[in-house]
Chains A and B, each alone.
Chain A
């Protein structure tokens, strides 16, 4: 260091340090092994123990697996072929392949229908799952898929799902129409709809009050508990009798009052339209159309569905219904309107507090009491309602976590730009909250998918029900365990692992902080 510089400045850099590449990490298999497996006496012991366990499993499983018998008619034949050696009896999978996949009751000549529905499911899912790469017009196919799949699986006339689709489209038209009306026209509509909805609600409440009174008298007075329940039902009944007219008037008037801003009257008109069409138009119209141009497949009943197909059907339907319902519940729980908030909280807490099996028993037995015989809801639909409610409650809580994680500033920025509640929710809040919630939602979805096997307790023959029932109890395959359950586990693993991989990929796609 020269003296002159030292007097004026402590340090001045005169040359730039050129950038240099990062140091190359020492590599090599030996080094990796030493660092990761044998880095100390404890790790060395753990490694050796783990190796021993893995070795034992491999030694046990490999002969069993590779000695496997694929061609045999019964478990006895299998044992004869093996002659005492260890070996799996995969012949059961070959023998009962159709049953494992479709259940034992699905018509054999119709196996192509669920198979086609499955292939189409994958095609239809692509535009939704990879929406960032697929032009959005393909989503129309995704939207049409449920109607086609319904027809393929249950058969009957194609005109029924078409009529339902038409009813939904018409409802959309009604919605747009009412929304874009001038206030004076809408006032007239609101008057009529308010009157119809008010009277209709009052009438339904009146019927409910009558029913409650009937129940209260039929419970009887035997025992303290029955007496108490009877009193409770009587109280509800009287309450409903007193309030059915005021409630009708109140709701009708509220609808009439909403004419100027339009939200409520638009919603109620649309709901009324779709309910009326579903109840009175869809059936007859599809019947007539089928009379003119018959397009029919042999009808299959829900009781006949089974095997892994049933799990896939329940899984796909319930996941795709419970996510939107979960979103609505989560938003409702955050609502500033006490009634909506209260309903959502009660729903979520109640459903979460009850085991799914209980709900399924309710679906199987109880709901049948509420609907008159014959007119009752289809069993599949009842199970779907219960599983959907169950997982929607969990998904709602996951999404609520996502909503809570958003900084308040996001809501404020959206508000300050003049976005209304629906816009702010759809464009700003949900995309971010859902992104945070992906791992949680996937967790629930995977759990839901596996829980579809619980339907075997209400004697629906999903894959587990098939194994426990018709397969293990047949004389041919009596008490065969490992092979069919291993197959079921493999099926579930493939689907669940795919879901998990997809969600991780999606999370990476949605990352916006650094790329």
Chain B
């Protein structure tokens, strides 16, 4: 908690979600979501499986389309206009549960692809940037290997580096550690903590409560497509208000 307090949160707004609703066919996945994220905030989203956490953060970079309400990212309103979508996607980095590295490209090529093609960065400069971030996630020596030759933890760190190479202003994480063996979780969390300490705006779907306590300045609990409770981590864990939150916490912390 002490560390989290040191990290600055600015008054500037990074993401505004108002009254957002989403359906899959007739299934109402997200209901009346209201959420404002300040620049520099680190938000952890948790909740039972199927509660719509992934859908929520995937709506933020338009991997999923929402049907009602508004989402504004960095001052750009998400609409069906492709220009806006591309702009937002290049500002928002995303890490997936299953890494989704490109298996036919080397680690270095994975990291330089988007800067070269989307940002039109010269190849050499893109490679320097890529090596910088690969060093940051502590795997520069794997640059010429293919993703299939790396361990899960290394792959996820590459995925983080790949996102960072686009110099995003916001990072989204969708259960980045839940496909990893226990001994690899820490190396990925350490990378994320470092990122948080540098002031990155982060939205993480995760059940790593230690991580939430250490870096989050807000924990959001979702159930059945709604935000049920949100609070500072200490208050959230020590003094949950709703019954559903209490039940959920007892289930994940209980064993």
B113 interfacial contact with A, CB 8 Å: yes
Contacts of B90 in A (CB 8 A): 417-418
Q: A473-515: contact bitstring with B at CB < 8 Å (1 yes, 0 no)?
A: 0000000000000000000000000000000000000101110
* Known contacts A409-B98, A431-B104, A432-B103; is-contact A415 B113 (Cβ 8 Å): no
Overall SS of chain A's interface = helix
* Known contacts A431-B104, A513-B148; is-contact A412 B117 (Cβ 8 Å): no
* Known contacts A416-B89, A427-B117; is-contact A435 B149 (Cβ 8 Å): no
Contact of B103 among A414, A417, A427, A512 (CB under 8 A): A512
Q: Is A410 in contact with B113, judged by CB distance below 8 angstroms?
A: no
Q: Is B166 in contact with A417, judged by CB distance below 8 angstroms?
A: yes
Number of interface residues of A (CB under 8 A): 23
User: Which chain A residues numbered 400 to 425 have a C-beta less than 8 Å away from chain B?
Assistant: 407, 409-410, 412-420, 423
A428 interfacial contact with B, CB 8 Å: yes
A261 interfacial contact with B, CB 8 Å: yes
Q: Is B63 in contact with A419, judged by CB distance below 8 angstroms?
A: no
A506 vs chain B, min Cβ distance (A): 13
Q: Is A419 in contact with B103, judged by CB distance below 8 angstroms?
A: no
Contacts of A431 in B (CB 8 A): 104
* Known contacts A418-B86, A418-B89; is-contact A412 B104 (Cβ 8 Å): no
* Known contacts A512-B148, A513-B148, A513-B149; is-contact A416 B94 (Cβ 8 Å): yes
Residue on A nearest B103 in the bound complex, by CB: A512
B61 interfacial contact with A, CB 8 Å: yes
Category for how many chain B residues contact A: 20 to 34
Contacts of A409 in B (CB 8 A): 96, 98, 100
Contacts of A512 in B (CB 8 A): 103-104, 146-148
Contact of B114 among A261, A419, A514 (CB under 8 A): A419
* Known contacts A415-B63, A415-B89, A418-B114; is-contact A514 B162 (Cβ 8 Å): no
Please, how many angstroms separate the alpha-carbon atoms of A295 and B29 in the complex? 71
B118 interfacial contact with A, CB 8 Å: yes
Q: Is B104 in contact with A416, judged by CB distance below 8 angstroms?
A: no
Please, how many angstroms separate the alpha-carbon atoms of A427 and B102 in the complex? 10
Please, how many angstroms separate the alpha-carbon atoms of A417 and B111 in the complex? 10
Q: Is A412 in contact with B148, judged by CB distance below 8 angstroms?
A: no
Please, how many angstroms separate the alpha-carbon atoms of A332 and B38 in the complex? 42
Contacts of B103 in A (CB 8 A): 432, 512-513
Which of A418, A419, A428, A512 counts the most chain B CB atoms within 10 A?
A418
Contact of A413 among B82, B101, B117 (CB under 8 A): B101
User: Which chain A residues numbered 419 to 454 have a C-beta less than 8 Å away from chain B?
Assistant: 419-420, 423, 427-428, 431-432, 435
B133 vs chain A, min Cβ distance (A): 14
Residue on B nearest A510 in the bound complex, by CB: B104
Contact of B149 among A261, A417, A514 (CB under 8 A): A514
A418 vs chain B, min Cβ distance (A): 3
Please, how many angstroms separate the alpha-carbon atoms of A414 and B103 in the complex? 12
Which of B63, B83, B100 counts the most chain A CB atoms within 10 A?
B100
User: Which chain B residues numbered 22 to 69 have a C-beta less than 8 Å away from chain A?
Assistant: 61, 63
B180 vs chain A, min Cβ distance (A): 16
Q: Is B86 in contact with A420, judged by CB distance below 8 angstroms?
A: yes
Residue on A nearest B101 in the bound complex, by CB: A413
Which of B61, B114, B118 counts the most chain A CB atoms within 10 A?
B114
Q: B92-112: contact bitstring with A at CB < 8 Å (1 yes, 0 no)?
A: 111010101111100000000
A11 vs chain B, min Cβ distance (A): 23
Contacts of A513 in B (CB 8 A): 103, 146, 148-149
Q: Is A418 in contact with B104, judged by CB distance below 8 angstroms?
A: no
Please, how many angstroms separate the alpha-carbon atoms of A347 and B216 in the complex? 55
Contacts A/B (CB < 8 Å), 13 sampled: A261-B83, A412-B96, A413-B100, A415-B89, A416-B63, A416-B163, A417-B90, A417-B118, A417-B166, A420-B86, A432-B103, A512-B146, A513-B103
Known: A415-B89, A513-B148. 14 other contacts (CB 8 A): A410-B100, A413-B96, A413-B102, A415-B61, A416-B63, A416-B93, A416-B94, A417-B90, A417-B163, A417-B166, A420-B82, A427-B117, A512-B103, A512-B148
Measured CB to CB, the residues of A under 8 A from B are 261, 407, 409-410, 412-420, 423, 427-428, 431-432, 435, 510, 512-514
Measured CB to CB, the residues of B under 8 A from A are 61, 63, 82-83, 86, 89-90, 92-94, 96, 98, 100-104, 113-114, 117-118, 146-149, 162-163, 166
